[in-house]
Structure 1
């Protein structure tokens, strides 16, 4: 029935009523009733009603994609909004490839395009890791005249960055006439994911404006590559700039504090969270537990953990790992058992933490039981880290023969860390013969690591085999191996200072002056 002036008011009223019903619809049953009512009226159905009906069909609350497709297939001339609705639905579904096939179908229909089609298709490409299809859609974006449209181009930037195709992403970014803040953030995030932190920082510094995502991306990038000091410094700059951090920013900054052992900064961030009424969600809670654990504040870590409304496996693992590092194996095992009772499934990292706790606590049988449960209970294949924990467990307990047999029976090839754990145990228990055997194996496995030669030379020295020790040390020079200097870090007045072995320091004169004062005072007291 065509729309005529005589029935226009009635139709307008029906449309408004139908749209209101669809807006209040809360189940698929209600939606089908509304649909049936629309069809039963037998009148002309405006496109706005059909579009709203389709959108309701794919609602995340109660949607049914099959029903939506059935509705769409019965539309005589669907417009671009309707096509986009189905493409978006497929891209968000478990069958993202269907959105690409649907787009192919759309190409054979006379439809007026808009830029909103392409982000949905690119999302599907990202989910499918479909790089070639991404390039084809890129070509379509240009062909359809949307090459300078920021919304479509930003989606393309995001996909290229996710694929690690940073050159494609940068070329696209440089051709944008007016990149917006999303464009800048996306290319910066691409460099972070690509591992080029210097270029990411260059982009960050060049940004005409920055939002919380910009700051957070850069802070997160520093943390990922271990530049925790730089991450905290940037966090302080962000606060001075008046940018309010979100939970992700705070979580990344807490990770930096944990990496540095910067307890004062961790406490300061915790105070900020409380002062501003920020909810301690699982991610933030895990970050806080990790900071206190890494800084040796186990009671505070437990206090934070107990206060968490939702205790995720990450928080449990951080607490268990902290107890393990501090030699409280039995207590760590107790918390692990509590975690199991709550129904939370341990992850690979959780098993590493609890096996480490058993190793440090001398809990041999318990460790074996936990290791066995990985495959028998949780159907999880142990990784090389878990095998390393077991070798360390057996080695620390002096069960060197059993540790060697365990390594020989491993279904995966042992790496340098595995052999290194056994070599350390040989040193600890003065089993020099086995130590020499393992030392040679370790050098064959990891010939470019200076520490392997030093360990073997030490064993020869302990056995009184001085010539062999000299020969091993000579190999270090002949191979031109360099050992990375160790370093220490201290927290002074909220600032973390690092001191490298054999290196200079901006505070070196003050340090020597204090040592001289201490030495002179000891001389006066007759203690030197």
Structure 2
């Protein structure tokens, strides 16, 4: 391995040379060398230099470099909002939302100015933790600081409340936003669908269409999920038609295809589900699982088993959702031999059998297949693990 490049020597103008080096610097070790040189030249309290140095450390987004960026920033007075924002963003990029919130609180305590990006990053940190109390306090900051008309802030708040399942607050943010864009409409449709309010999701989509906005792939996926929950075949077909007219299937969007397969399967319209499944140029484990579960839930058990075997033959690894569907199918077939095979398959392929869902499914399957002894063994194993 070749040695890491060192920084070049400074020329007669330290300020210009250090600025140039910081702009070119790509490596953490080089950055530490530049930092040491800045200290020895006495430029550490020069605001443009200090700001660039802090940003360079923060943008590497490692715990050590974020810490260094914060340490330098605390020792320099007068750093601008952009510099503090890079520290918060660096912690977020490194998946440290708690530290990002602590920096935001520090900025507020010092009475420093915040902008829409500061608030957006802080709200995202709350969403990632998640902390609803901190999120509501940030909402109050947004109102007090006069950012209520900033659509990126309102969208961040809406998404945060959607993650928490605080749908009343989410709707309030949406209603208070004077100008809503497609991203905001998509977010509220998705939140209602994900939190099992399919009627609300469809109602918002109707209002969205009345507002003159076109549905995109994300909207269609959310609405098809709502139709699946309601087994609303007529609405699902209408959305399918919209997706065709809007050329949303032309790019072979696997998420839209999967949602259509799932919707038609849930509605018992397996001919359409199967046709779409066959049309998919590239399916994934979700595609296969949706089709297998569709056959199983509509009591086409042999077809479901054959599809699972085909999935195995094509070396597509199932996930836990697939396995739970296959266990359910085995329970319906009530085949002692098949139940034993599934048990061995799960153990052989390293699936986690200790989860409540998996244990309950296996107990139910073995009991229905007549293997009461095995069902009791699983039950006793669950009791011992508690």
TM-score scaled by length of structure 1: 0.62
- Is it true that 1:153 corresponds to 2:143 in the alignment? no
- Is it true that 1:86 corresponds to 2:62 in the alignment? no
Structure 2: runs of 5 or more not aligned: 44-48
Task: Report the CA distance between 1:205 and its aligned residue.
Answer: 1.6
Q: Would the aligned equivalents of 2:285 and 2:318 in 1 still touch at CA under 8 Å?
A: yes
Aligned twin of 2:272: 300
Aligned twin of 1:257: 227
In structure 2, distance between residues paired with 1:412 and 1:346:
28
Task: Report the CA distance between 1:374 and its aligned residue.
Answer: 2.7
Q: Within 5 A, what are the aligned runs for 1:75-474?
A: 76=38, 77=43, 78-90=49-61, 95-96=62-63, 98-109=65-76, 112-118=79-85, 120-122=87-89, 124=91, 127-130=95-98, 134-141=101-108, 143=110, 145-147=112-114, 149-162=115-128, 163-165=130-132, 166-179=135-148, 180-278=150-248, 279-397=251-369, 399=370, 401-402=372-373, 404-412=375-383
In structure 1, distance between residues paired with 2:117 and 2:315:
43
Larger RCO, structure (CA 8 Å, separation 6 or more)? 2
Q: How many residues align?
A: 367
Q: 1:129 to 1:82 in 2, by over 3 A?
A: closer
In structure 1, distance between residues paired with 2:65 and 2:344:
43
Q: Deviations over 1:188-236 (max 9, x none)?
A: 2222222221221122122111112211221122112211011111112
Task: Report the CA distance between 1:110 and its aligned residue.
Answer: 6.4
Task: Report the CA distance between 1:144 and its aligned residue.
Answer: 5.7
Q: Would the aligned equivalents of 2:124 and 2:156 in 1 still touch at CA under 8 Å?
A: yes
TM-score scaled by length of structure 2: 0.82
Q: 1:109 to 1:285 in 2, by over 3 A?
A: same
SS at match of 2:350: coil
Q: 1:196 to 1:106 in 2, by over 3 A?
A: closer
In structure 1, distance between residues paired with 2:30 and 2:295:
53
Q: Would the aligned equivalents of 1:157 and 1:173 in 2 still touch at CA under 8 Å?
A: no
Q: Would the aligned equivalents of 1:119 and 1:156 in 2 still touch at CA under 8 Å?
A: no
Q: Would the aligned equivalents of 1:157 and 1:172 in 2 still touch at CA under 8 Å?
A: no
Q: Deviations over 1:391-435 (max 9, x none)?
A: 2223333x16336523443335799xxxxxxxxxxxxxxxxxxxx
SS at match of 2:382: coil
Task: Report the CA distance between 1:74 and its aligned residue.
Answer: 6.2
What is the root-mean-square deviation in Å for CA atoms of aligned residues?
A: 3.2
**Further displaced range: 227-236 or 114-123:** 114-123
Q: 1:329 to 1:121 in 2, by over 3 A?
A: same
Q: 1:130 to 1:41 in 2, by over 3 A?
A: closer
Structure 1: runs of 5 or more not aligned: 1-28, 58-64, 416-528
In structure 2, distance between residues paired with 1:294 and 1:377:
29
In structure 1, distance between residues paired with 2:357 and 2:298:
19
Q: Would the aligned equivalents of 1:220 and 1:231 in 2 still touch at CA under 8 Å?
A: yes
Q: Would the aligned equivalents of 2:240 and 2:260 in 1 still touch at CA under 8 Å?
A: yes
SS at match of 2:81: coil
Q: 1:379 to 1:98 in 2, by over 3 A?
A: farther
In structure 2, distance between residues paired with 1:127 and 1:187:
19
Over alpha carbons, which structure has the higher Rg?
1
Q: Would the aligned equivalents of 1:87 and 1:117 in 2 still touch at CA under 8 Å?
A: no
Q: Deviations over 1:3-36 (max 9, x none)?
A: xxxxxxxxxxxxxxxxxxxxxxxxxx9xx9xx89
In structure 1, distance between residues paired with 2:30 and 2:309:
47
Q: Would the aligned equivalents of 2:227 and 2:233 in 1 still touch at CA under 8 Å?
A: yes
Q: 1:199 to 1:108 in 2, by over 3 A?
A: closer
